[in-house]
Amino acid sequence: MMSKDSTRGKVIHLNNGEFETEVLKSNVPVLVDFYADWCGPCHAIAPTIEALSNEFEGKVKFVKVDVDSNQEVASSYEIMSIPTIMLFENGKVEDSIVGAYPATVYKQHIERALNHGH
């Protein structure tokens, strides 16, 4: 039985080489949080993203991509501002949100993506 104490661990931190496998070839929708360690708003939304990863566990995969150490991925998706949240489905970007927002905004986008696909 898994412990509910840990809210960490539902969000996967990716490196350049893992993006294709974890995101583009995923059989469930993937929320990608493009961030950087020096980005204040990125740190501000991190607990929100963690909480949503628990709420949507099993329905949506949550991953974080550090734009500084994954410049290839960041530039291929033309990430200009962070935080940028992108929702991928079947290897394609279905939605993106630039900037820090309350949990309700991210939740609406996730639910819309889930309902769109079914």
pLDDT, position 118: 53
Q: What is the pLDDT of residues 34-85, one digit of tens each?
A: 999 999 999 999 999 999 999 999 999 999 999 999 999 999 999 999 999 9
Q: Give the integer Cα–Cα distance in Å for 92 and 89.
A: 5
CATH superfamily assigned to domain 12-116: Glutaredoxin (3.40.30.10)
pLDDT, position 78: 94
pLDDT, position 10: 84
Which of 30, 32, 42, 79 is catalytic? The answer is 42
51 carries an active-site annotation: no
Q: CA distances (Å), 109 to each of 35, 40, 54, 74, in order?
A: 18, 22, 16, 21
Q: What are phi and psi of 22, to 5 degrees?
A: -80, -30
Which of 11, 39, 74, 86 is catalytic? The answer is 39
pLDDT, position 84: 97
Q: Give the integer Cα–Cα distance in Å for 79 and 100.
A: 14
42 carries an active-site annotation: yes
